[in-house]
Amino acid sequence: MPNRRKPARRTRTSRRHRREPDPLAQAVGHRIRRLRDEQEFSFDAFVEEVGLGRGYVSEIERGLVNPTLAALSKLANALKVTVADLVLGDTPRERLFEVAAQLDAGAVRILLEDARRRVSAHS
């Protein structure tokens, strides 16, 4: 009788996980780890707070998975930052965003008003 087994399918997990870090995922993971360390959040407490699996969070921090938006949202909420804070790159515009995130609301309003005036002046 011929073998009627279907060929093994790649599972969703096997496509999402890597052996080597993805450079962009690794940058996000390092940023998450740095923020967690700055807040003196132990790994176990962090995992409990975000409600994601321990292994998944570890892989995120090491850049071995590309986290979903839902996962990034949970991570950002636990760290009391925005998703944008987690995925910032290194362009001047992104560095400006990172600096602006450290300002109080009044200073952000002033910066925004100044930026709008500059845009209007160049239009």
Q: Which residues contact 61 (CB under 8 A, 6 or more apart)?
A: 29, 30, 32, 33, 36
Residue bearing tokens 């409600």: 51
Looking at per-residue pLDDT, the higher value among 60 and 18 belongs to: 60
Q: How confident is residue 99, by pLDDT bands cut at 50, 70 and 90?
A: confident
Q: State mean pLDDT over 70-98.
A: 90
Residues in the chain: 123
Q: How far apart are alpha carbons 68 and 87 in whole angstroms?
A: 12
Please state the pTM of the whole predicted model.
0.69
Give the CATH fold of the 16-87 domain: 434 Repressor (Amino-terminal Domain) (1.10.260)
Looking at per-residue pLDDT, the higher value among 47 and 99 belongs to: 47
Domain boundaries, the chain: 16-87, 88-123
Cα torsion angle, 107, 112, 113, 114, sign: positive
- Rounded to the nearest 10°, the torsion over CA 51, 55, 60, 61 is 100
